[in-house]
Each structure stands twice: as C-alpha cells, then as structure tokens.
Chain A
C-alpha cells in the first residue's frame, strides 16, 4: 500500500512536469497551428542557461528568473527569425523546420556545454514528509503547486487581458484580427515567448529529477506529446490533466506490469498517443477541428 501511494505521488509530480512541457506545446499549437517539435530542446537549452548562470555565481532563484526572462525573449526571436517565413505553409514544411530547430538546438548545446551530464539543484530542497507511510518529497508538492498556479495564470491571461484576447483572436482568424487592428506578428511572437518561458520552467523543474544533459528532454517530449494529445491539443488545462494521467499511468505500468519494467516505459506514451488519436482525436478537452474546403 505504501508503495502504491508512493507510485501515485511520484507519478503525479512527474506527470506535472510532462504537463508543463505539454502546456508549452499547446500554447504554440493554439496560436499558430504548429506542433513545435523543438519545444523540449528549447527547454533543455534554457535549463543549461540557468546552470551556466549558477556557475557564474548567481543564486538558484535568481538564475531561474533570469532564465525565464531570457527564454521569453529567445522564443520571440525564434518566432520572428525562423518560423515567420514559413508560417501558414504546408504541414510538411513546418514539421521539417521545427525538426531542424530541434536538431540545431540540441547540437548547439552539445557544442557549447558538451555531452556529459551534471546535477541540477531542486528549487524546493531535498526534504520530504510522511503521508500514510509514503515519503512525499517537498519537491513533488512544489511542482504540482507551481503547475496549477501556472495554468491558472495562463487562464486568467487568456480570458481576462487584452493580450490574451488578441492571442485567441489571432489563433482563430488572423485576417480578421489584422483588420481589427491587432498586430498579428507581435501577438504570435508573444505566444512563442510565453511558450518558451513555460518550457524553461518545465526544464528547470525536470532537471533535478533526471540529470541535466543535452538529451534529457528527448524522452520527456514524447511524454508531453502524449499529455497534449490526451488533453486535447488546444487546451492548456487538458495538457496538465493529460500530463497527470500519463505520469501516473507510467508509474503504475513501470511498477506493476513486469513486461514493461523500467526499460519499456516509453511504450506508455506511445500507446496513449495511438489510442487517443484513433479513438478520440480531439482528446479529453480539445475542440474538434472544422475542415473548410
């Protein structure tokens, strides 16, 4: 029983991290219809920046804040320079360009920081407390709380602010938005900036649980895609809840299904993606796409 609760709590926290990256993916998908395959690698790059700032002597909290700000600006720049020329193009073009970005960012990080791994400190310390015999790390609770707060803030921004309204309008119909005086380009840049910021947050939260190396987000990305698919590709709340389900399912499958063990956990997100897409392509909270000829 202790073990069961332990698995649930761990899965919940891990799932929150998948959810975090999934939220970043969803933000860009909502705004531009692009699934950003490079999202995980951008988060990895941000995390390395945070690590670098700490090496330069900044305290953890300050390094993370600075990283979030840098990531916001970096995301805007990437949208403007790399994505803008192909925006609204063929799906294949977009997939290839974001994959190119994936490989480019991954390799650049390898070039700058090398391929070794490093420990990354947790924002929430190492302590834990006891619940029904299971040790619950403060970190897990911290992650869950941060993520719930994040989604709440995003919800408020989307529903209650002028920028959020503009972002929703642009996602729905760029031409009409432009006619209403919204700067579509700037809005999309902000969307990518926010997504990068959220991704960076995911990165610095995930890094302490794994080791920080250039490939540490590779597997996380596929879990996040599973979370986003399950939650519905255009729903941030869905992404978070999808993340929880995927995280807990992964923990349970890894612990109680002998065939899967710790080696084949990667099959969990893959199965989730396939099953959801085949049975309910809009996910749990997504809205159906309407095809117009």
Chain B
C-alpha cells in the first residue's frame, strides 16, 4: 500500500476505534477517554503554536483554565446550555490569546517562554483572587450532563461522543489549516523569520493569529475537560498542567496533527498508573521523557510511525510542512531518513 493511501487508512482505523471504544469500557474508563479527547484538543492547539510556528508557550494551562472557567461560569451563573458554552470558552480564549500574542510579537524564543511561564505560575493565584466569579479555593461544581432519550446512550457515552465530535471537527480544521498556505507561512516563520518576511509573509498577522487559534483550542479543550470532570478549582490548573501539555506535544511529535492523540493519551493515563507506584513517578516520567525524546526521538511517536511506514512504502511526496520539524530539533539523532528530509526542508 502506498503511503498516500496509508494515511487515510490509519485515520480510518483511529476513528473506528474511537467510535467503538465506549461500548467496551465501564463508565469510569469512558470518562477518562473523554478527558483524553478534551486534552487532545488543547495539546493540538499548543502544537500549532509551538510545533508549527515555533513560538514557545509554557503557559497553555492558563488558557485551558480560562476556557474551563468561562464555560463553568456561563453554565452556573448565566444558565447557558452546556454545549453552547464551548463557543463562549473558545471566543474568550481566542481574545486572551490575541492579547498575549501582541507582546509575544516582540518576544522571541527564551523570552516568550519566560513570560508564559510567569503566566502559568500566576494562574492559580489569579483564580483564587477572582473568587467572586470563580468561587475561589472552594471551586465550582457542575451537574453531570445527561444524554437525550433518543440517543439510547448512557450519560458518559453521550458526553464521550460529544467530546469526540468536537475534537474530530477541531482536528480536521487544524489539518486543513496546516496543510495550506497558513501552515506553510507558519513553518516559514519558525524556520527563518527574515526569509519568511522576504517571501511576503505578514509576520504580525500570522504570529498573533496562531496565538489566538492556539488559545481557542486550549480553551475549548479546557471547557470540555471540566464538563467531563464536573468540578474545577484553582488547584486543577497548576504549573504542572502546562508542563504536561508540553510533554504531550513532544511525545506525540512536534508539528504533527495526529501526535496530539498520542500525547493526550500519554498525559491522561501515565499519571493514573504512575500514582499507584508513587505520587512523584508521573513527574519523573514526564521529565525523563522530555529529555530522552529530544535526544532519541525528536520527531515523537509520529516521527517514529512515519519512519517505519516510509521504509516499507515508497517515499512520500512533498509534505515539508510536516517533515522537517522534528528533525531540525534533534540534537543527536541523525539517521539517513532525517538527513534526507533535512536537505529537502532547506
């Protein structure tokens, strides 16, 4: 099978598995998969920003929290139906992303990382302080969503499918986005800003734009996550959450779309199982994985999948937007495939 047909086939299998999943697991597990799907949206958003456009955000937990609270407050204080809060959360976060994107224009690399890290650290404090809206340290709880009678599904399955549908939509949109003109512009900015500008890429527009879109993804993910959990408090959004998102995009593969799935499953389930051994183990794994992946597998899981499938099938056509990223980041890992793609990316 050629690689060109391999990709839709792989996505078909993923979708099929995702649809069948809730019928084979108990409600608790289905809830976890729902949360993983919600996380995947946020992870994808971060990857658009970091992987594709090369702007580093260590503070996406802040947007995730903002989306979660925007949704929860709309539900409890304004009586908005659950699903209608998703566009609200998305819009609020897009605006916040736009605002943070403005100074980000002047801050590159390390400095942007510093500022966003500060935002992530400040997030729980700000939530606590705005206790009139957020309920402060008490947190807020939401009633569980109920499945409509016509669906014939249990509540947890219904929520799972809703989340899955939203996630699928956002994955498709992101896929189209990075494959076209926008994706090429973002990658050009990442690889060489000056050259990109010379080629006529409007730096400000794309950099702010991707910040807003990325924040919107994080916000929608946060809203769905919170609806699934049914409770939120300042401690739900610690610095570690932002780090987990970063670990997720590195594990999945920088500048990939499908990687967000692996990344989200990784950060949803690793802490669950790691906690059985020791409270600190998840962190040890995250930290270790971040370092090891940068050495050994800079393309993440998706890079590995590509490498395997491209040795079996005929080499794929030009897909530079996706190919270069991981390899450019690699410090040590150099193999024939990487070298070949590096040449092409230049």
Do A and B interact with each other, yes or no?
A: yes
Q: Mark B69-110, 1 if CB is under 8 A from A, else 0.
A: 000000000000000000000000000000000010011011
User: For A103, what are the chain B residues with a Cβ–Cβ distance below 8 Å?
Assistant: 240, 243, 247, 283-284, 286-287, 290
Contacts of A263 in B (CB 8 A): 125, 128-129
In the complex, the answer to whether B103 meets A274 with C-beta atoms within 8 Å is: yes
Q: When the two chains form the complex, which single residue of B117, B247, B331 contacts A93, counting CB atoms closer than 8 Å?
A: B331
Q: Find out whether the CB atom of B111 lies under 8 angstroms from the CB atom of A281.
A: yes
Is the pair B50, A104 in contact by a Cβ cutoff of 8 Å?
A: no
Beta-carbon contact of A100 and B291 below 8 Å: yes
Which A residues, 222 to 250, have Cβ-Cβ distances below 8 Å to chain B?
222, 225-226, 229
Interface positions, chain B 159-183, Cβ under 8 Å from A, are none
Give the distance to chain B from A211, nearest Cβ to Cβ, in Å.
18
CA distance A222 to B83 in the complex (A): 37
| Cβ-based interface call for A253 (8 A) | no
Q: Whole-angstrom distance between the alpha carbons of A108 and B286 in the complex? A: 11
Contact B56 A270 (CB under 8 A): no
Give the residue name and chain of the A residue nearest to B120 (CB).
A222
Size of the B side of the interface (Cβ < 8 Å), in residues, is 51
Q: Bound state CA distance, A56 and B189, in angstroms?
A: 55
Q: Which residues of B contact A86 (CB under 8 A)?
A: 294-295, 331-332
Q: Which residues of A have CB within 8 Å of B118?
A: 222, 225-226, 266, 269-270, 273
A96/B281 in contact, CB under 8 A = no
B291 in contact with A225 (CB, 8 Å): no
Which of A93, A97, A110, A277 is within 8 Å of B106, CB to CB? A277
CB contacts (< 8 Å) of B215 on chain A: these are none
CB-contacts of A98-149 with B (<8 A): 99-108, 110-111, 115
Q: How many whole Å from A100's CB to the nearest CB in chain B?
A: 3
Contact B290 A278 (CB under 8 A): no
Looking at chain A's contact residues, the main secondary structure is helix
Q: B114 near A: Cβ within 8 Å?
A: yes
B128 to A, closest residue via Cβ: A263
CB-CB < 8 A to B103: which residues of A?
274, 277-278
Residue ID in chain B nearest A102 by CB atoms? B287
Chain B residues closer than 8 Å to A97, beta-carbon distance:
290-291, 294
- With the chains together, A37 CA to B117 CA distance in Å? 10
Q: In the bound complex, do residue A107 and residue B281 qualify as a contact, i.e. CB atoms below 8 Å apart?
A: yes
Could you tell me the distance between the alpha carbons of A145 and B288 in the complex, rounded to whole angstroms? 39
Query: Is A218's beta carbon under 8 Å from chain B?
Result: yes
Taking the nearest CB of chain B, how far is it from the CB of A83, in angstroms?
10
- B212: chain A residues at CB < 8 Å are none
B56 touches A95 (CB 8 A): yes
- Bound state CA distance, A96 and B292, in angstroms? 11
**Contact A90/B280 with A96-B246, A102-B287, A277-B115 known, Cβ cut-off 8 Å:** no
CB distance from A242 to the nearest CB of B (A): 14
Known contacts A95-B56, A104-B284; A222 and B121 CB within 8 A of each other: yes
A82 at the interface (CB under 8 A from B): yes
Question: Is A157 in the interface zone, CB < 8 Å from B?
Answer: no
Distance, CA A281 to CA B114, complexed state (A)? 13
Q: In whole angstroms, what is the CA distance A82 to B286 when docked?
A: 15
Q: Known A111-B284, A264-B125, A264-B129; judge A99-B290 contact (CB<8 A).
A: yes
Contact A108 B280 (CB under 8 A): yes
Which of A92, A104, A115, A277 counts the most B-chain CB atoms under 10 A from its CB? A92
A266–B280 CA distance with the chains assembled, in angstroms = 26
| Residues of chain B whose beta carbon lies under 8 Å from any beta carbon of chain A | 50, 54, 56, 58, 103, 106-107, 109-111, 113-115, 117-119, 121-122, 125-126, 128-129, 194, 239-240, 243, 246-247, 250, 254, 278-284, 286-291, 294-295, 298, 328-332
Sample of 12 further A-B pairs with CB below 8 A, known A86-B332, A96-B250, A96-B290: A35-B113, A37-B117, A97-B294, A103-B283, A104-B287, A104-B288, A110-B283, A218-B239, A222-B117, A266-B122, A273-B118, A277-B106
- Give A residues with C-beta under 8 Å from B: 35, 37, 82, 85-87, 89-93, 95-97, 99-108, 110-111, 115, 218-219, 222, 225-226, 229, 263-264, 266-267, 269-270, 273-274, 277-278, 281, 293
CB-CB nearest 7 A-B residue pairs: A107-B283, A104-B287, A100-B290, A103-B287, A86-B331, A110-B280, A111-B280
